[in-house]
A and B are shown apart, each in its own frame.
Chain A
């Protein structure tokens, strides 16, 4: 049973560029949440997708957008990258309606903006 997978593992971008990160949820899970984890801090909630729609959003600007596909996989897009966007981006999957607060995490994508 595959767990949550994320790609790429590492990414280096230049300020002002755009980036797309990808996530495949654990088998049987229908909900995907994205988090940003800066060095030395806990994860910060970006948004959550369910039934191909953004269901909740944290305190992140519109430069951060996402998508969920019919197979439940998800993308996180960040436009106009800033140096401060450098972080580990975590994807977590869960099942809505069955204690959706229990989330399973992927290994993360380390984004470096130069």
Chain B
């Protein structure tokens, strides 16, 4: 079945550690890829997006993600996390195969220990 998979439901890191959150999708055709973040008590907001071009995209707050088409992946990275990065992170995909509906992963809860 077509889906978006986030490998880790909970991640706990210390400040200054490097972060990589995995996202894989199983849609074919043209895809648009997103990472959204939800800080405690706040709305979902867009971190970064990939539509086309350079597969390495940079977002807000020092986050970046790399689209690897051959692996159907769009992993989120940050070289050095801060306590303020504690949040829930969602990967989402639109695909021509799914009529461009926004399909979401289950989310990863990230906790940064000060």
A residues with CB within 8 A of B: 3-4, 33, 40-45, 48, 56, 58, 90, 92, 99, 101-108
Known: A102-B46, A105-B43. A45 touches B103 (CB 8 A): yes
Chain A contacts for B99, CB-based, 8 A: 56
Taken together as a complex, chains A and B put the C-alpha atoms of A81 and B92 apart, in Å, by 28
Residues of B within 8 A of A (CB): 4, 32, 34, 36, 43-46, 49, 51, 90, 92, 94, 99-107
State the main secondary structure of chain A at its contact with B.
loop
Give the secondary structure class of B's interface.
strand
Please determine whether A45 and B107 come into contact, CB atoms closer than 8 angstroms.
Answer: no
Chain A CB count within 10 A is highest, among B43, B49, B107, for: B43
Q: How far is the CB of B66 from chain A (nearest CB, A)?
A: 19
In the A-B complex, the 10 residue pairs with the smallest Cβ-Cβ separation, listed nearest first, are A42-B104, A105-B44, A101-B94, A105-B43, A42-B106, A45-B101, A43-B104, A101-B32, A42-B107, A42-B105
Beyond A41-B106, A101-B34, A105-B45, 18 additional contacts (C-beta under 8 Å) are: A3-B43, A4-B43, A42-B4, A42-B90, A42-B105, A42-B106, A43-B104, A45-B102, A56-B101, A92-B44, A99-B51, A101-B94, A101-B100, A101-B102, A103-B102, A105-B43, A106-B43, A108-B43
